Structure 1
Amino acid sequence: MTPTHRDAAEDWPSDWLRATLGLCTLRSLEAGPSYGYAIISSLKDSGLGTIKGGTLYPLLTRFEEAGLVSTEWRAGDGGPGRKFFALTTTGRAELNRLRTEWAAFTTISNSFLTADPIGEEVFS
């Protein structure tokens, strides 16, 4: 197992997922339009674990209201239609902004977490 992938049965702390789900969802749409189940599968296949529709769809609705994604209904192949989500120009800009900020934040966090302790105080 590489450091970037985990067993699908393992769960990340929920607060970590809440903090990154928006960014990762935008990233999953970077290659082109997709629908909810495919986005969930993409996130799971990337090692983020299983995201429930009840978590993803409200997020996508907020993204649509904010102008980050557009939607389109497409007919299904012998089944019901699907709602596809696509990044807008604003959504791509937001993805790039968040990606840059996330990289800076994780660099600072990793530096702090791996640094030697500095003058630990002892409380009695």
Structure 2
Amino acid sequence: MVPGDERILTHLRRGAVEYCVLAMVAEEPAYGLDIARRLTREGILLTGEGTLYPLLSRLRTAGFVETTWEESTEGPPRRYYAITPTGRETLDAFRRTWAPFRDAVDAAVDAPKRRRP
């Protein structure tokens, strides 16, 4: 990685990961370790589980997700996270905002390339 890449990723993650989590649990409830595995696949959205559980706690406190405990055949009971109606509204608002924001960033970042002769 080029120096500064990790700092940039940290800032980008801070603004987007919670919405990625909401999108994941919007389709079906998921437990923390499964969410962590999905987010860490490429090492871009999340680098480890240490930051996920505080994030899930904040989402629960804000009323964006609710939790249930379910028995597991592979060990102790698991806490599953599911989106709430408030969480769904928040995710919908993010989706409406994300595309124009992403497009504006792409246009600004790519603008110098288009102006070169």
TM-score under structure 1 length normalisation = 0.76
* Contact persistence 1:40–1:51 (CA under 8 A): no
Moved over 6 A (4+): none
Q: Deviations over 1:76-101 (max 9, x none)?
A: 11410111000011111111111111
Counterpart amino acid of residue 45 in structure 1: R
| 1:18 maps to 2:4 | no
Counterpart amino acid of residue 19 in structure 2: L
Identity of aligned residues (%): 34
Q: Answer 1 or 2: which has greater helix percent.
A: 2
| 1:60 maps to 2:56 | yes
CA pair 42-80 structure 1, distance change in 2 beyond 3 A: same
CA RMSD of aligned residues (A): 2.2
CA pair 28-47 structure 1, distance change in 2 beyond 3 A: farther
TM-score under structure 2 length normalisation = 0.80
Aligned match for 1:70, one of 66, 87, 90: 66
Shift of 1:35: 0.6
Q: Deviations over 1:100-120 (max 9, x none)?
A: 111111111111111148xxx
Match in the other structure for 1:91: 87
| 1:102 maps to 2:117 | no
Structure 1 gap ranges (5+) = 1-10, 118-124
Instruction: Please state whether the residue corresponding to 2:87 is helix, strand or coil.
Output: helix
Q: Answer 1 or 2: which has greater strand percent.
A: 2
| Structure with the greater alpha carbon radius of gyration | 1
Structure 2 gap ranges (5+) = 1-5
